[in-house]
Amino acid sequence: MAEKWGRRAILLVYAIMIVIPLLVVLFGGFKNIGQLYSSPLGPPVPPTGRNFTSLVTTANIGVPILNSTALTAGTLVITLFFGSLAAYGLARIKGWIGWVIWAALVLGMTVPAQTSLVPLYVTFRSLGLTDNLFGLILVETVHAIPVAVFILGGFMRALPRELYEASSIDGAGPWRTYRSVIMPLSAPSLAATAIFLFVIVWNDLLYPLFFTTSPSVQTLPLALLAFQGEFLTNYPAIFAGVTVASLPVVVAYIFLQRYFVAGMTAGATKG
């Protein structure tokens, strides 16, 4: 009996520790500075929408929202396409060549990104790809592809070999088999991969910080970081920004939770 209550107490305390910081942000965005400091935890009475309007008027948050959307969408489309092509090919290529290609891709995943970032920056600069959205999509894609091949490859290898063979007996070439047989069957693992990459790319700070400088290509995490300088300790404004920046991921989490857990645990094995 005592043990049962002990377990519940631990879970309850931890749940409170998770919820409180989240509530502080959610409520804080609707408070003015005075309200936040006098009652950081309580609900905003009366709520104010001024922090959110000032995001638009002062901080011009529309630009980073568009940039982050384009960056994430572009990266996901290219990565899933190239990644699934590679995973499919590697699931069917026999012998050492397939193994070497797999090893090269997985090596790209185990090397910490920082180690290749400086030369990559120099290459991109000479190609005119720094400080623009297309270049940034390319950088995110390059780093996302090994993860995608890894997750999708695991799935495609697990498909029964007969599936590949049956369709080639029916006269379908590799492309046809990829498009009409394997892709539809891979939908759940594509979704899990997409979710995993969505969270990573949407929230990423490292590559935008390295590869861009202009406000016109600023992504949301960069814009948030800039708020910190701009609003200093105006936490209500910062919290409003945090709420807006997190909203798409939170909404996706609520509706697609299954894929989140699947994708983020599969992604965790990349260590």
Partner 1 sequence: MTSAGEPDVGVRVMASVQRRRRGRGATRTHWALYLFPVPALALVVAFLLLPLVQSFQYAATDWNGYSATYKSMGLDNFIHAIFNDSLFQNSVVNTLKFTLVVVIVQTMLSLLLAVLLVKNSRLNIVLRSLFFFPTILSSVAVGFIWAFIYDPTFGLMRGLFQMVGLGALSGSYLGDQQAAIYWVAMVQIWFHAGQLMVVFIAGLQLVPQELYEAADIDGAGKWARFRSITWPMIAPATTIVVAYTTIQCFKAFDLILGIAGNPPGTALDILSTRIYTSFANSQYGYASAESIIFMAVIGIVVLLQRWALRLTQARE
Interacting residues with partner 1 between 194 and 253 (CB under 8 A)? 199, 202-206, 209-210, 220-221, 224-225, 228-229, 233, 235, 238-239, 242, 245-246, 249-250, 253
Q: Which two three-digit tokens encode residue 139? A: 């950088």
Considering only residues 158, 184, 214, 255, which one is a binding residue for partner 1 as defined by CB under 8 A? 158
Q: Give least dist CB 226 to partner 1, A.
A: 10
Q: Which amino acid is at 106?
A: V
Q: Is 32 in the site for partner 1 (CB under 8 A)?
A: no
Q: Which stretch binds partner 1 (CB under 8 A): 44-52, 57-65, 69-77, 155-163?
A: 155-163
Q: How many CA atoms lie within 13 A of 138 on its CB side?
A: 15
Q: Give least dist CB 257 to partner 1, A.
A: 6
- Which residue spans within 68-187 are E strands per DSSP? none
- Nearer to partner 1 by Cβ, of 25 and 70: the residue is 25
- Nearer to partner 1 by Cβ, of 73 and 97: the residue is 97
Q: Is 1 in the site for partner 1 (CB under 8 A)?
A: no
DSSP state of 148: H
The site that binds partner 1 (CB under 8 A) totals a number of residues, namely 106
Considering only residues 85, 131, 132, 133, which one is a binding residue for partner 1 as defined by CB under 8 A? 85
- Nearer to partner 1 by Cβ, of 53 and 257: the residue is 257
Interacting residues with partner 1 between 34 and 53 (CB under 8 A)? 36-37, 40-41
CA distance 75 to 69: 10
Considering only residues 150, 194, 217, 240, which one is a binding residue for partner 1 as defined by CB under 8 A? 150
Q: Which stretch binds partner 1 (CB under 8 A): 43-51, 53-61, 69-77, 172-180?
A: 172-180
172 φ/ψ sector (left φ>0, alpha ψ -120 to 50, else beta): beta
Interacting residues with partner 1 between 176 and 205 (CB under 8 A)? 178, 199, 202-205
Q: Is 76 in the site for partner 1 (CB under 8 A)?
A: no
Q: One symbol per residue from 95 to 124: x for binding partner 1 (CB under 8 A), - otherwise; what is it?
A: x-xx--xx-xx-xx--xxxxxxxxxxxxx-
Q: Is 31 in the site for partner 1 (CB under 8 A)?
A: no
Alpha carbon of 198 to those of 89, 108, 140, 193, 204: distances in Å? 24, 20, 11, 8, 10
Q: Is 139 in the site for partner 1 (CB under 8 A)?
A: yes
CA distance 225 to 268: 26
CA distance 104 to 100: 6
Q: Which amino acid is at 148?
A: A
On the question of a cis peptide bond just before residue 119, with omega within 30 degrees of 0, the verdict is no
CA distance 14 to 7: 11
**Which of helix, strand or coil describes residue 235?**
helix
- Nearer to partner 1 by Cβ, of 41 and 45: the residue is 41
CA distance 263 to 265: 6
Q: Which amino acid is at 237?
A: A
Q: Is 9 in the site for partner 1 (CB under 8 A)?
A: no
